[in-house]
């Protein structure tokens, strides 16, 4: 009886195999968590760098596009004004021609 009592006390004193296994798994899980956290921090840093790089590239390209658009709008307006001037001169020439034809017909 005394021997059985001692064995029970020893089993109560020393952690069981299940507890030891659970503690080992907990340690492995904590290590994995730390590794994943470090990898996440690297990924977040990389994402932020890429976001900044893309933002800068977009800003530069957008500014270049705005300048190009302004140049095209200015060219369109210049061509439109030149076209209007040519139409006006053509109308004046046609009116002059009609006047000459009427004068010649008299």
SS3 15: coil
User: pLDDT of 4-48, one tens digit each?
Assistant: 888 777 776 666 777 778 889 999 999 999 999 999 999 999 999
Residue 1 DSSP one-character state: -
Model pLDDT, residue 2: 84
- CA 63, CA 47: separation in Å to the nearest integer? 24
Model pLDDT, residue 14: 62
- Does the pLDDT at position 105 exceed 80? yes
Q: What integer is the mean pLDDT of 53-71?
A: 97
- CA 82, CA 53: separation in Å to the nearest integer? 43
pTM of the model: 0.52
SS3 content of the chain, % helix, strand, coil (to 5): 95, 0, 5
Model pLDDT, residue 69: 98
Q: What integer is the mean pLDDT of 96-106?
A: 92
- CA 19, CA 11: separation in Å to the nearest integer? 12
Dig out the tokens for 64 from the structure: 């270049």
- CA 51, CA 38: separation in Å to the nearest integer? 20
């Amino acid at each position: 009886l005394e021997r059985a009592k001692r064995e029970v006390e020893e089993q109560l004193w020393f952690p069981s195999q299940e507890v030891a296994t659970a503690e080992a798994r907990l340690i492995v899980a904590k290590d994995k968590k730390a590794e994943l956290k470090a990898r996440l921090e690297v990924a977040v840093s990389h994402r932020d760098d890429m976001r900044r790089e893309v933002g800068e590239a977009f800003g530069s390209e957008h500014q270049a596009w705005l300048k190009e658009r302004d140049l095209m709008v200015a060219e369109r307006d210049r061509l439109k004004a030149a076209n209007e001037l040519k139409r006006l001169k053509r109308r004046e020439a046609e009116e002059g021609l009609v006047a000459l034809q009427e004068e010649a017909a008299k």
